[in-house]
Structure 1
Amino acid sequence: MAHEHADLHDPETDPLATYVLEPDDVRSLLARVVAGPAAATSTSHTPFTGAPIAAVPLTTPDDLPAAARRARAAQRTWAARPLRERTAVLGRVHDLLLERQSDVLDLLQIETGKARGHAWEEVGDVANVARHYAVRARRYLAPRREAGVLPLVSSARVLRHPVGVVAVVAPWNYPLTLGLGDVLPAVAAGNAVLLRADPRTALTLLWCHELLEDAGLPADVVQVVVGGPDVGMGLLEHVDHASFTGSTAAGRVFAARAGELGVPVVLELGGKNPMYVAEDVDVDVAAEGAVRACFGSAGQLCLSIERIYVHEAVRRDFTDAFVRRVRQLRVAPGLDYRSDMGSLASAAQLATVVEHVEDAVGLGATVLTGAEQRTDLGPWFYAPTVLTDVPEHARLAREETFGPVVALYPVASDDEAVAAMNDTEHGLFASIWTADTRRGARLAARVQAGAVVVNEGYAGAYGAVAAPLGGTKASGFGARHGREGLWATTSLQTVVVHRGAHGGRLPRTGHVYGLGHHVWPQVLTRWLELRRALRTP
């Protein structure tokens, strides 16, 4: 999809080189947007150079009712298909995504500015999700049998039905993972999806729409709408469930509107994710892991580590090892694997990072490395940054920075570390490094976060796709991945069957099993007492 000459541009000789996409490819993708023929457009820009990419048509709230009607019609047919046919589509998505990864990697990098290795993490994650639900959806959706109140004559079956039409509001930072990755379980369950793409990364999700079509998904089961908050909020009026990934402030507004409309939602919101480095670690191993955890996608990842608490016994050694590795990171644009970190995604994101760092430094923080814009590389590049002595009242200490910036803090014990990690309104993710994995697991259970990984960063959480991944406190509720991610897009139905009520020899009294109202309380009282004595559930 990208021109062959757009591999890696040397910033010293060609600092403003334009990354170009084939016009026919772009036009073909843009034609997939749900929008009227005279739709307004928003011009997206590549973070590598600031050059324009495409004029993306914008969906309006007026476009949504027709899209929802098409989705409902398509969903009824799709849900009626055997589950094996639906999961077969997911299997083909897995295969095609890996086969065509070069194209979508180019798009991801051009639209987000992230390094190719970080872009590949999205490809690997979504392929893993597709494989998982292709294999496990049948087990997750299988009817569950339970005993009735009288096990010999009554039984219950718990069924899961698709809710109908699902809205997926995807953010700009991880469009593949947080867009297509959330679409797949909803589709496997038999739902249709209205997928809202941010204009900045719309091409990636439109490419995903093409991929789904090539994998055999029928028309209108998934439709892509493009826009800002008005479109995301507007979707709530036309769907039966919604998933939202974004800031805590925006998520609260979204959830409030969903509550008014009675639409259930799953929210993954902001975080201020901590890491603890215990005194028994190999500091080189922990430092290498911390670099991965802090600077993936230039820190523009919901699970990025922004606070590191280091035991005093290894503070100096860990700090030296960590800072040395951070300084060695290769920061550059380029559509290949030679860069360790790419650009911030926008001028607005750069401004937030600069404000947080300048505020902290102005209040007494010490810069160990970084803290500078890299305009020699591109308009929104920022050096990976490590700070210490950050005051508690600094913005960087409390607010999510969402950039390549991390603060180090000394602690004297496990208890102090856990207390500091929990001292935040957020509770999305945390990481603990210790040579004693049992100790790490015990500490993890005390941390107030939706996911805690011992001896790895965010990749450990995303890679465990059979386990739910979500936030606590101000970081949201509900989860993606695992059975919980699939179940969120289903509704429960309990069917209870009583047998023998129409037996030919029963007295025709009009009462169930021929027992009058005065007898039932006596029978059930004895039955409940017996079950209590036998400790049956």
Structure 2
Amino acid sequence: RPLRERAAVLDRVHDLVLERQSDVLDLMQIETGKARASAFEEVADVANLARHYSVRARRYLAPRREAGAFSVLTSARVWRHPVGVVGVVAPWNYPLSLTLGDALPALVAGNAVIVRPDPQTSLTMLWAAELLSDAGLPDGVLQVVLGDGPTVGAAVVDHVDHVMYTGSTRTGRVVAAQAAQRLVTASLELGGKNAMYVADDVDVEAAAEGAVRACFSNTGQLCVSIERLYVHDRVVGAFTDAFVRRTAALRLGSGLDYRSDVGSLTSAAQLATVVEHVEDAVGHGARVLAGGVHRSDLGPWFYEPTVLVDVPPEARLFREETFGPVVAIYPVASDDEAVAAMNDSEFGLNASVWTADTRRGAALARRVRAGTVNVNEGYAAAWGSVGAPQGGVGASGYGHRHGREGLWETTRLQTVAVQRGTHGPAGLPGFGLRRLYELGPETWTRVLTELLRVMKRLRMP
């Protein structure tokens, strides 16, 4: 199908996901236990992404002209073609954003897509597949396969031309190796132990409010959420008080409405990890300032948003990703100490810097080893800027989603170079490169040597 038709499908997806949001919000809450506001983030994200690529895909996929080997005589153009079939192996925590959100750029680039949603959240993806059909996507272009990761997820990796995987670092290494065996490319968004720095010049109330969103949105089950808070000595007391007060005021609940701030964890396994990390930290001397309680009265997997201090390096919580509503506060004495602490991790997915001086914040952000860094926001500023790439470094993976880079992940490059002047125009049979070659290798190598020197003097690209 031509690009204009593919873009039109995304344009209709934008409208339909907003029109039908009530149904999918219910579905996501039932499947994951998340609060409704967190579920709405996914609806808004998919609509935003669909709009962006429906408008920008033509520009992102347009061929580009490059300088040829010989000025005037040579032209070179670089084309982008779809790789063929893209496989999306998706997690359970964002069942709409991390399935449909990854499928849309692959589709508009001209690929077919196979999605393996997590078994716990398969209904959301099946709903999304029906929505794509209603938006005009031809039958069979996107297919959904259901099953576990080791069996069905691995089979997807074995049969596609590009893999998009979101999940744990441990499994990501397996996926990368499996794709490499077939010499196919992969985009991997993996774990994170994301850090936030609160500088000494902040409005502590505003910073605390932002930190609550950054740490506890989606019950902390968010790849880019904050699990480490580094706070300058001068404001650590005031910030901690404000942060703990706001954390304790969060409303927990499972209703299919907007009355709850924090929902349930999604599984017994995730609850077990949260409990283990908190108990291990306390056993190593950490103190709980808020939360630390399994709220079985609300549901089997509810856990109060938890704030800890005095977490030592020996605790698992210090370095391991918890992926739940738990954060630790660490005081620091300077910007340099904060940056060093933020970078002291195998992960590098997302980070945040809070300061009244945005120029200072941007300078600090550039020093942080992370794929995205937000200044005066936790994660939404970077994630919502869908024209900019989103990805990790180190144990947080490689490749990107969003922006031109996210679209390009599902394409292959081809250079078409056209050489003119080999025979010469009519009436000038002696003109052209063929004549140069006929002069013999010693002569034409001298001519080319001088030509290269002239090109350098003229600063030709």
TM-score between the two structures when normalised by the length of structure 2: 0.97
Matched, 1:511 2:431: no
Counterpart of 1:486 in structure 2: which amino acid? L
Distance 2:124 2:410 in 1: 24
Paired residues for 1:480-495 under 5 Å: 480-495=401-416
8 Å Cα contact 2:312/2:318 also seen in 1: yes
- Match of 1:175, SS? coil
Deviation at 1:237, TM superposition (A): 1.9
8 Å Cα contact 2:422/2:434 also seen in 1: no
Distance 2:58 2:249 in 1: 47
Deviation at 1:534, TM superposition (A): 1.9
Deviation at 1:238, TM superposition (A): 1.2
8 Å Cα contact 2:421/2:431 also seen in 1: no
Matched, 1:313 2:234: yes
8 Å Cα contact 1:444/1:454 also seen in 2: yes
Q: Could you tell me which residue of structure 1 aligns to residue 452 of structure 2?
A: 528
Q: Could you tell me which residue of structure 2 aligns to residue 111 of structure 1?
A: 31
Q: Could you tell me which residue of structure 1 aligns to residue 53 of structure 2?
A: 133
Q: Could you tell me which residue of structure 1 aligns to residue 174 of structure 2?
A: 253
Q: Cα distance 1:318–1:511, how it changes in 2: closer, same or farther (>3 A)?
A: same
Match of 2:344 among 423, 426, 435: 423
8 Å Cα contact 2:198/2:232 also seen in 1: yes
Q: List gaps (5 residues or longer) in structure 1.
A: 1-80
Paired residues for 1:87-486 under 5 Å: 87-229=7-149, 230-486=151-407
8 Å Cα contact 1:166/1:193 also seen in 2: yes
Q: How many residues align?
A: 457
Deviation at 1:231, TM superposition (A): 1.2
Distance 2:432 2:330 in 1: 77
The C-alpha deviation readout for 1:64-115, integer Å capped at 9, x for no partner, is xxxxxxxxxxxxxxxxx21111100000000000000000000010001000
Distance 2:404 2:49 in 1: 12
Deviation at 1:500, TM superposition (A): 2.3
8 Å Cα contact 2:294/2:303 also seen in 1: yes
The C-alpha deviation readout for 1:258-314, integer Å capped at 9, x for no partner, is 111111000000000000000000000000000000001100000010000000000
Deviation at 1:536, TM superposition (A): 2.2
- Match of 1:104, SS? helix
Counterpart of 1:483 in structure 2: which amino acid? R
Distance 1:324 1:176 in 2: 32
Q: List gaps (5 residues or longer) in structure 2.
A: none
8 Å Cα contact 1:508/1:514 also seen in 2: no
8 Å Cα contact 2:423/2:431 also seen in 1: no
- Match of 1:124, SS? helix
Deviation at 1:393, TM superposition (A): 1.1
- Match of 2:116, SS? strand
Counterpart of 2:379 in structure 1: which amino acid? Y
The C-alpha deviation readout for 1:434-492, integer Å capped at 9, x for no partner, is 00000001000000000000000111121000000000011000100000000010000
8 Å Cα contact 1:507/1:514 also seen in 2: no
Distance 1:512 1:386 in 2: 78
Deviation at 1:235, TM superposition (A): 1.2
After TM superposition, which residue ranges in structure 1, 4 or more long, deviate above 4 angstroms? Answer: 507-510, 512-515
Q: Could you tell me which residue of structure 1 aligns to residue 419 of structure 2?
A: 498
Counterpart of 2:287 in structure 1: which amino acid? T
- Match of 2:96, SS? helix
Distance 1:201 1:280 in 2: 43
Q: Cα distance 1:509–1:400, how it changes in 2: closer, same or farther (>3 A)?
A: closer
- Match of 2:143, SS? strand
Deviation at 1:186, TM superposition (A): 0.2
8 Å Cα contact 1:236/1:261 also seen in 2: no
Counterpart of 1:396 in structure 2: which amino acid? L
Q: Cα distance 1:311–1:185, how it changes in 2: closer, same or farther (>3 A)?
A: same
The C-alpha deviation readout for 1:479-529, integer Å capped at 9, x for no partner, is 000000000100000000011223243349993666443333222211211
- Match of 1:136, SS? helix
8 Å Cα contact 1:290/1:457 also seen in 2: yes
Counterpart of 1:524 in structure 2: which amino acid? L
Distance 1:297 1:322 in 2: 18
RMSD, aligned CA: 1.2
